[in-house]
Amino acid sequence: MRVSPGGRPATGYDIVLQAGVLRETAAFLTDRLPDCRAAVVVTDGNLRDLAAPLTDALRGVGVASALHVVEPGEKSKSLESLHGIYGTLLDLKADRRACVIAVGGGVVGDLAGFAAASYMRGVSLIQVPTSLLAMVDSSVGGKTGVNLPRGKNLVGAFHQPAGVLVDPDVLRTLPDREYHGGLAEVVKYGVISDAAFFGWLEENAGAILDRDPAVLVPLIARCCELKAAVVAADEFETTGVRATLNYGHTFAHAFENLAGYGVLSHGEAVSVGMTCAARLAVSRGMIPPDVLTRQTALLERFRLPIELPAAVEAPPDAVLAAMRSDKKNVAGALRLVLPVRLGEVRVFADVPEEQVTAALTP
Amino acid sequence: MRVSPGGRPATGYDIVLQAGVLRETAAFLTDRLPDCRAAVVVTDGNLRDLAAPLTDALRGVGVASALHVVEPGEKSKSLESLHGIYGTLLDLKADRRACVIAVGGGVVGDLAGFAAASYMRGVSLIQVPTSLLAMVDSSVGGKTGVNLPRGKNLVGAFHQPAGVLVDPDVLRTLPDREYHGGLAEVVKYGVISDAAFFGWLEENAGAILDRDPAVLVPLIARCCELKAAVVAADEFETTGVRATLNYGHTFAHAFENLAGYGVLSHGEAVSVGMTCAARLAVSRGMIPPDVLTRQTALLERFRLPIELPAAVEAPPDAVLAAMRSDKKNVAGALRLVLPVRLGEVRVFADVPEEQVTAALTP
């Protein structure tokens, strides 16, 4: 599958989706980046055994390499972790032809991606996403970045990878909660841009929950296609097209903020956020209640929450305040992505705040 | 003057070269960035009085603004300083339409430029260079970055400004040593790409030393044109064209390293480096000795050194080792930019190291 950000074929790259492709990483690198002589493999402590063999394989093809392991979890997306990766690159005497290989979920991909974007003003990046969320979402599209103590993803760059290697085999060992969280973004693609895909998800929900390779490959491929099409239309998030990917996310970011990171997974927050967004669209008469009903049924089938856990304190005013500080907003106006039918969303900047708070509860 | 990096008109920007234009910064911003509602003016302690009035002017046109002052000097080009600028942007609740305005020399421009490149994955940047070096070199071309403890400019991005405002009036108060240092890069443009300009510099050397506005404006304009043409041909330093700007610099970076930063100004190091490079070209029979003689005479006229001060210990082996670690090298081979005639240079990767060390001394 070929991705051309902003429609520029010169910066295009391949997504290779194939069982076992993780073990082909070194061959992919020498094929696509023949001048590369040094590569740092970034991963987290949970994935060390998966990632470690890559450094041997790289040395086998004449590429100096090192494994850089960060702590699992969001707190590794920091300027300090970034500094650590720069150090490993310098230890390898990595020059501008070097490559960073991110083996992990969204945290590792975002962190390693920004290291690649900024080391010597940009070196190559290969993404090897290991979580469903990273496969269908964060590894495609070129967004990279780290958090600051004052907020998430406040520092970063758009940096397209030289390639994305998706190995569905690695999903076998993904913890259930992470796998289900990834399905929230999968459901999102159906609602925002492909009603037929949404129907396919409903029909195959059982096999999807069973992680049947026969459904996983077409599932991931379709999500990557849908995301790549959006990215091609709006690489730098300037035309508004890319904003459609944010369906449910303005609510979700507020929920994650209020819950404290880690209490609610990103996918769980998105699931609740999409429920609020669809409910809001129903209340405004933009979609029939049936769309909300089908979305809710599918999310629940995928073991995802459709309301906040009782332990999360989220009074409407606090949710609104957190939503207002979302960085997707422009000049302080709340921008919401809402469905206008199953398979299509639009961005609205004129929703009265009372309607937003009313949509927080059934 | 219009600059189109990589020949892409969509990302082009204006260089406005005009006495007094510094005071027009707020008007320029509202004209070019009508959606901008927040701007941080970054400057250093020496330039506070020059930069401070801009924040009032910005508030006068409805743009929330703050002055962010860093310590003068190279040590401010750090990840820590960057973090400080992010903090000021967050204090202003700066969103993606925000702008960073860099008022200063190369250090402020590189630091503020990288803050703009990375805050929320990229906000707008206006460069207001106040040193001759920044006017003719670092403010044009989109290079931004900071140092790491282990080396200069190891982290950064290519980020083109929304505009560059060059006010020759501010050169009146520039310290002599800094002004002369800037002239080293001016001489460089003549040698690498414009023999007629080199002749013009020789003819007008007296007026140039006197900082006569009648010669400063055409001087800065020609340097910016020459640099912009190189950047247009090779925005991301991938084709080798941009490498020609590095004439004298592989030597210079080694000298700066060995001397310890601050002992030798960048311009002084470049002056000695160009002398070594031209001497090397003469010794290889690539140019007649006359080119070296004229270059040396002009550099000395501009009060620039053509050999290292006695206090700097730079044994040939140490110079070579430092040159080998230059990040412009590819896979460890020394790449040198050498003149083939006055007004033209080429990149050579096959110069024997004995010839390089022989060229270090007359």
**CA atoms within 13 A of residue B50's CA, in its CB half-sphere:** 25
Domain boundary residue, one of B173, B202, B236: B173
Residue B325 has pLDDT above 80, yes or no: no
Whether residues B26 and B130 share a domain: the answer is yes
Contact between chains at B86 and A154 (C-beta distance less than 8 A)? yes
Residue A9 has pLDDT above 60, yes or no: no
- C-alpha angle B57-B60-B66 in degrees, rounded to nearest 5: 60
Distance between CA A115 and CA A117 in Å, rounded? Answer: 5
Residue A121 has pLDDT above 90, yes or no: yes
pLDDT tens digit sequence for B335-351: 899 999 999 999 999 99
Say which DSSP state B160 is in. Answer: -
Per-residue pLDDT, B5: 62
Contact between chains at B330 and A97 (C-beta distance less than 8 A)? yes
Which of the residue ranges A165-179, A196-210, A251-265 would you say has the lowest mean pLDDT?
A: A251-265
Which of the residue ranges A273-277, B83-87, B292-296, B322-326 would you say has the lowest mean pLDDT?
A: B322-326
Residue B265 has pLDDT above 60, yes or no: yes
DSSP reduced 3-state for A94: coil
pLDDT tens digit sequence for B133-183: 999 998 888 999 999 998 889 999 999 999 999 999 999 999 999 999 999
Contact between chains at B97 and A37 (C-beta distance less than 8 A)? no
pLDDT tens digit sequence for B95-130: 999 999 999 999 999 999 999 999 999 999 999 999
Instruction: Please identify which residue in the block is written with the tokens 């509860």.
Output: A361
Contact (CB, 8 A) for A119 and A98? yes
Catalytic site includes residue B185? yes
Domain boundary residue, one of B148, B173, B198: B173
Contact between chains at B148 and A86 (C-beta distance less than 8 A)? yes
**A-B C-beta contacts closer than 8 Å:** 93
Distance between CA A212 and CA A206 in Å, rounded? Answer: 9
Whether residues A28 and A66 share a domain: the answer is yes
**Which residues does B270 contact at the CB level (< 8 Å), separation at least 6?**
B184, B185, B188, B248, B249, B252
| A108 labelled ligand-binding | yes
Per-residue pLDDT, A138: 85
| B249 labelled ligand-binding | yes
Per-residue pLDDT, A327: 62
Nearest to A95 among B79, B148, B327 (CB): B327
Whether residues A209 and A323 share a domain: the answer is yes
Residue B270: which domain range?
A: 176-358
Distance from CA of B121 to the nearest CA of A (A): 4
What stretch of H or E contains B80? helix B79-91
Whether residues A186 and A129 share a domain: the answer is no
Whether residues B278 and B354 share a domain: the answer is yes
Distance from CA of A154 to the nearest CA of B (A): 5
Instruction: Identify the residue among B97, B121, B144, B330 best suited for mutation to test binding to A, counting A beta carbons within 10 A and taking the highest.
Output: B121
Beta-carbon neighbour count of residue A160 at 10 Å? 26
Domain boundary residue, one of A141, A171, A201: A171
The two tokens of residue A111 are 């962190």
Contact between chains at A157 and B87 (C-beta distance less than 8 A)? no
Q: Please compute the mean of the pLDDT values over residues A331-358 and round it to a whole number.
A: 91
Reported confidence tier of residue B248, pLDDT bands at 50, 70, 90: very high
Distance between CA B249 and CA B246 in Å, rounded? Answer: 5
Nearest chain B residue to A327, by CA: B95
In Å, how far are A145, B308, B360 from A136, measured between CA atoms? 18, 57, 56
Distance between CA A21 and CA A12 in Å, rounded? Answer: 20
| A107 labelled ligand-binding | yes
Q: Rounded to the nearest 5°, which phi and psi values hold at B277? A: -65, -45
Whether residues B98 and B216 share a domain: the answer is no
Contact between chains at B327 and A96 (C-beta distance less than 8 A)? yes
Residue B9 has pLDDT above 50, yes or no: no
Residue B261 has pLDDT above 80, yes or no: no
Measured between beta carbons, which residues in chain B are less than 8 angstroms from residue A119? 154-155
Beta-carbon neighbour count of residue B148 at 10 Å? 18
Chain A residues with CB under 8 Å of a chain B CB are 35, 37, 79, 83, 86-87, 90, 93, 95-97, 117-122, 143-145, 148, 150-151, 153-158, 236-237, 325, 327, 329-331
Measured between beta carbons, which residues in chain A are less than 8 angstroms from residue B237? 96, 121
ipTM of the complex: 0.88
For residue A149, the domain's CATH number is: 3.40.50.1970
Nearest to A157 among B118, B154, B327 (CB): B118
Distance between CA A280 and CA A287 in Å, rounded? Answer: 9
Catalytic site includes residue A23? no
Residue B8 has pLDDT above 60, yes or no: no
Measured between beta carbons, which residues in chain A are less than 8 angstroms from residue B239? none
pLDDT tens digit sequence for A77-113: 999 999 999 999 999 999 999 999 999 999 999 999 9
**Exactly one of B246, B257, B279, B294 is catalytic; which is it?**
B246
Candidates B43, B207, B29; CA nearest to B115 is B43
Whether residues B155 and B197 share a domain: the answer is no
Nearest to B121 among A83, A122, A156 (CB): A156
Distance from CA of B109 to the nearest CA of A (A): 15
Residue A328 has pLDDT above 70, yes or no: no
**Exactly one of B68, B188, B242, B294 is catalytic; which is it?**
B242
Over chain B, what is the mean pLDDT?
A: 93
Catalytic site includes residue B344? no
Instruction: Please identify which residue in the block is written with the tokens 């209020």.
Output: A258
Whether residues A325 and A262 share a domain: the answer is yes
Measured between beta carbons, which residues in chain B are less than 8 angstroms from residue A87? 150
Beta-carbon neighbour count of residue B48 at 10 Å? 12
Nearest chain B residue to A238, by CA: B96
Instruction: Please identify which residue in the block is written with the tokens 């070096």.
Output: B133
Whether residues A100 and A195 share a domain: the answer is no
Per-residue pLDDT, A91: 96
Catalytic site includes residue B180? no
Catalytic site includes residue B227? yes
Total domains present in chain B: 2
Give buried/exposed letters for B74-102 (b at 16+ CB in 10 A, else e): bebbbbebbebbbebbeebebbbbbbbbb
Whether residues A12 and A143 share a domain: the answer is yes
A64-70 and A38-44 strand pairing = parallel
pLDDT tens digit sequence for A166-199: 999 999 999 999 999 999 999 999 999 999 999 9
pLDDT tens digit sequence for A143-156: 999 999 988 899 99
| A234 labelled ligand-binding | no
Beta-carbon neighbour count of residue A173 at 10 Å? 11
Distance from CA of A282 to the nearest CA of B (A): 30
For residue B243, the domain's CATH number is: 1.20.1090.10
Contact (CB, 8 A) for B109 and B161? no
Percent of chain B surpassing pLDDT 70: 95
Whether residues A127 and A211 share a domain: the answer is no
pLDDT tens digit sequence for B74-95: 899 999 999 999 999 999 999 9
Say which DSSP state A349 is in. Answer: S
Distance in Å from the first CA to the final CA of chain B: 41
Contact (CB, 8 A) for A107 and A73? yes
Say which DSSP state B333 is in. Answer: B
Candidates A159, A149, A158; CA nearest to A78 is A149
Candidates B155, B11, B12; CA nearest to B2 is B12
Beta-carbon neighbour count of residue A170 at 10 Å? 21
Contact between chains at A119 and B155 (C-beta distance less than 8 A)? yes
Helices and strands (DSSP H and E) totals, chain B: 14, 11
Residue B236 has pLDDT above 70, yes or no: yes
The two tokens of residue B59 are 């508030």
Whether residues A28 and A57 share a domain: the answer is yes
